[in-house]
Amino acid sequence: MLAPNRSALFEQLALPLLPSLYSHSFWLCRNHAEAEDIVQETVSKALRAFDSFQTDTNFKAWIFRILRNTFLTSRTAIATARTVFLEDHLDQVEVTDTSPTPEEILLRLDNEAALSEALERLHPQLREVLLLCEVEGLKYKEIAMVLDVPIGTVMSRISRARRTLQAQLGGSL
Amino acid sequence: MQSQHLTHLEISAFIDGELPASDAQTLEQHVATCHECALRVVSAMRLKAASTRVSQNFAVAPPEALSRITAQLRQQTAKETANVTETAKKPARVIHFPLWTWSALAATLLVGVSFLGWQSMHPPSTLSAELLDQHLAVLSSGSAPEVISSDRHTVKPWFQGKLPFSFNLPEVFPVGTVLKGGNLTFVHGQPAALLLFTVGKHQASVFLTQRPLKPHKLTSSGTESGFTIQYADAEELHITAVSDVNPSNLAQLVSALANAQKPR
């Protein structure tokens, strides 16, 4: 049970993050109803566990970690895990280097549809780490905490994600 | 870093602001003199900006969903606050009982304790019934022991790894008593080694358990439907024997088993 000021603090910290949580949840499960369920469950869990949150650490990383764990036990994640999802087999994802020039890439970046498609085609594990970095603005250390992986893994996944995007857009960095 | 082109990792970490200051400075110096790497860095920055924009537009939370989640969040935090406030404000209630209630309570306790005492002196017959059932089941022709042997060197090792305890068998059994075999069983919720004997023309079932099966400390024997049930403690083990044989013959068997458990 939280003290009133802790409840207020939780509300103050969590409310601004709801759009981000929803957005990330949707990226993970690709279903609006399920995305909402996952965020609601995440908020409930986070509130119950808020006593364990250390105020000198990043709340966003903390609650995103809860969101991710909640997603991993969701219908979609369990169903997808039967095929191949979040955990590894990444080595099998080849980055094809078709080598147009960086200038060509710059031109293609204006094509949002192509980029959107490239993001869609990205391996979920690479897309997830890229979203946490670029959209959510988390630092590598915080992403490592969310994903429970070493910081070096975060670094290499982000780099790999970008190279894959470039390759899918027809170029390479 | 200055003589070679930048790696993908370096560019990625640089545009994310994750390089240590000294490395970032070295990288900037290299980029200032290397057109190819400069273009790659710009390309990476443009890609980052574009993918961020596209990702944000792809998964925008519907306002109604956000409203529901917000409402749920506020409701839960309000509930938490209310619970805390209520607990804090609620004074400890002091209930004054009249004297007669204390007397009634004391009487109830007395009756309860007496009942428990009586129960331990007169245990429910479920245990002896269970022992007898197991013994009768063994007597039926359809249930051969899992290990059939009169050799103690065969029977004892068979139990190894199947039970959370070990036991010894005597070198010599009383005259007329023959070990027929053994079974693994459960009696009164605990694992037991069931040893099967013939004593003369009678059958005897002996249960070896870690916890006593006897109803209370003073009990050493009992009867159930004409069968004798005898109990003995032997070091860490407890022996319970069931048979319709002469009680003295059964006692000799129990005693032999108990002696075998003593350290040599």
Taking an 8 Å cut-off on Cβ atoms, the answer to whether B74 and A140 are in contact is no
Chain A residue with minimal CA distance to B45? A106
Choice among A1-15, A93-107, B82-96, B199-213 with the minimum mean pLDDT: A93-107
CATH 1.10.10.10 describes domain A86-173: yes
- pLDDT score of A93 more than 50: no
Closest partner CB to B58 (pick from A116, A156, A160): A116
B186: helix, strand or coil? strand
Please give the CATH architecture assigned to the domain spanning A1-83: Orthogonal Bundle (1.10)
* Residue that the structure tokens 């032997």 belong to: B234
Angle at A62 between CA A58 and CA A63, to 5 degrees: 120
A1-83 shares its CATH topology with A86-173:
no
- pLDDT score of A96 more than 60: no
State how far residue B183 is from chain A, nearest Cα, in angstroms: 44
State how far residue B95 is from chain A, nearest Cα, in angstroms: 27
Beta strands in chain A, from DSSP E residues, in sequence order: none
ipTM: 0.79
Contacts of B46 in chain A (CB under 8 A): 105-106, 109
pLDDT at B130: 78
> How many CB atoms neighbour CB B202 within 10 A?
16
At CB < 8 Å, which residues of chain B contact A? 8-9, 11-13, 16, 18, 39-40, 42-44, 46-48, 50-62, 65-66, 68-70, 72-74, 76-78, 80-81, 83-85, 87
CATH fold for domain B126-260: Phosphorylase Kinase; domain 1 (3.30.200)
Rounded CA separation B247/B249 (Å): 5
pLDDT at B38: 92
Instruction: Look up residue B18 and give its two tokens.
Output: 């994750």
Taking an 8 Å cut-off on Cβ atoms, the answer to whether A8 and B83 are in contact is no
Choice among B29-38, B72-81, B182-191 with the minimum mean pLDDT: B182-191
> How many CB atoms neighbour CB A150 within 10 A?
10
- pLDDT score of B64 more than 70: yes
User: Quick one: pLDDT band at residue B162, thresholds 50, 70, 90?
Assistant: confident
Instruction: Report which of residues A7 and A21 the model is more confident about.
Output: A21
* Domain boundaries defined on chain A: 1-83, 86-173
- pLDDT score of A130 more than 90: yes
Rounded CA separation B236/B213 (Å): 13
In chain B, list all ranges with CATH 3.30.200.100: 126-260
Rounded CA separation A11/B176 (Å): 83
Rounded mean pLDDT, A46-62: 89
pLDDT at A131: 94
Contacts of B68 in chain A (CB under 8 A): 36, 40
With 0.90 as the threshold, say if the pTM is over it.
no
Instruction: Report which of residues A96 and B90 the model is more confident about.
Output: B90
The answer to whether residue A113 neighbours chain B at the CB level (below 8 Å) is no
pLDDT at A57: 84
**What are φ and ψ of residue B197, in 5° steps?**
-130, 155
Beta sheet of B237-243, edge-to-edge order: B147-148, B177-187, B190-199, B202-209, B237-243, B227-234, B221-224
| Residue B245 neighbours by CB under 8 Å, 6+ apart | B199, B200, B202, B204, B228
Contacts of B80 in chain A (CB under 8 A): 1-2, 7, 47
Contacts of A102 in chain B (CB under 8 A): 39-40, 42-43
